Amino acid sequence: MPEYKLQKLRGGYAICLYEGGKRVSRRQLESGDAAGAAAEFSRIVADASRPVDPDIRTIWAAYCADREGRRIAKNMGWSAKPVLGFFGDRKPEEITTKLCRAYAAQRRAAPKGSVAQQERWRAAGRPAAQWTGVKDGTIRTELNQLRAALLWAEKAKIITKAPAIEMPSAPAPRERHLTRSEFERLLDAAETPHLRLYLLLAISTAGRNAALLELTWDRIDFERGLVFLGERNMLRPQKGRATVPMTNALRAALANAHAHRRTDRVIEWAGEPVASVRTALTKATKRAGLTGVTPHVFRHSAAVWMAEAGHRMGEIAAFLGHSDDQITQRVYARFSPGHLRGAASALEVGGPRRAR
């Protein structure tokens, strides 16, 4: 394997290439000081290490490596099989609108679930139409990840230009939200302590499902009454992970759970961190006589409740961890009791007529 070394040369610095322990080339660097030479050396080595004319598989892997430790890298691990199975061996310049549409069509016809699940559904006589067809929202997520990797590659000068990626239209916002009475019924139907704590945490913080399940006790500040859904003292906010105050009910539930904790995770069961609440939530939903309840419904419900109480959209956006309130306005403004009231007042008709 070739090896690059930074060495002194004629009062300055040079980059030397070694192969098999022997120097095969040497190049004088422009920078004369140690710090500048080190930076120049790093740039040259990085440029030399970049693949020539990389394919999508190489770019995808490089982007995931650059984002290692972030949730996007984990999510792209799940998307890799379909995306790379279709695009992996292609070069960026080969990606066209027609190709993106072909990918979307293929995914819409693809079977859902694992091979084992498909066999069970087939054995049970379940019609194929019910277990095939990936939703457009999932396809959009996969293509968005591909676009992110390509844009990163362009910015890193790995490729000259990132191609345009056409994707399905964004799905309509989910309308399902719980009323307060529905939430109380669900809370009463929660038979396990970990689900009850999860429900209180979800509705009280409006946190995303992943943020709640990954929450650790070092991010619960009882002294100041705060819940840090993202990392404490992080230099830049994480998407959708705000720092929010505790409600009285949540504080009491957290204090009780903290006293009996066995792991560093807030949501735990039988001495182990909880990876998913879907099974427990599905059972509680049935006992409560409700339908359409998913982990995301609690975040949506919390935002609706705040809007119904008349709180400003900017305040709700901050609670949800939105970077601005445009999305918040579009989705939740209509739930506010004051929404468009001022404009409607200009349209009043049918008042008392003046005497002639």
CB 13 within 8 A of CB 41: yes
Give residue 234's pLDDT: 60
- Residue 100 CA to residue 306 CA, distance in Å, equals 39
Residue 214, CA distances (Å) to 82, 211, 234, 255 in order: 27, 5, 16, 18
Helix, coil or strand: residue 202? helix
Give CA angle at 336 (331, 342), nearest 5°: 110
Beta strand pairing call for 243-245 and 268-269: unpaired
Give CA angle at 120 (115, 125), nearest 5°: 125
CB 6 within 8 A of CB 15: yes
Give residue 233's pLDDT: 65
Give residue 121's pLDDT: 66
CB 186 within 8 A of CB 282: no
Residue 334, CA distances (Å) to 23, 141, 266, 304, 308 in order: 70, 27, 34, 9, 9
Length of the chain measured in residues:
356
Helix, coil or strand: residue 22? strand
Q: Which amino acid is at 151?
A: L
Tokens of 32: 């004369």
Residue 146, CA distances (Å) to 45, 75, 154 in order: 26, 12, 13
Show pLDDT as tens, one digit a residue, over the chain (356 residues).
678 888 888 888 988 888 888 888 888 988 888 888 888 888 888 777 666 689 999 999 989 988 888 878 888 998 999 999 999 999 999 999 999 999 999 998 887 766 676 677 677 776 665 666 788 888 999 999 999 999 999 988 888 899 999 999 877 666 789 999 999 999 999 999 999 999 999 999 999 999 999 999 999 999 999 999 987 766 455 556 888 999 999 999 999 999 999 999 999 999 999 999 999 999 999 999 999 899 999 999 999 999 999 999 989 998 988 877 788 888 888 888 887 777 877 877 876 665 55
CB 310 within 8 A of CB 337: yes
Tokens of 265: 């995770």
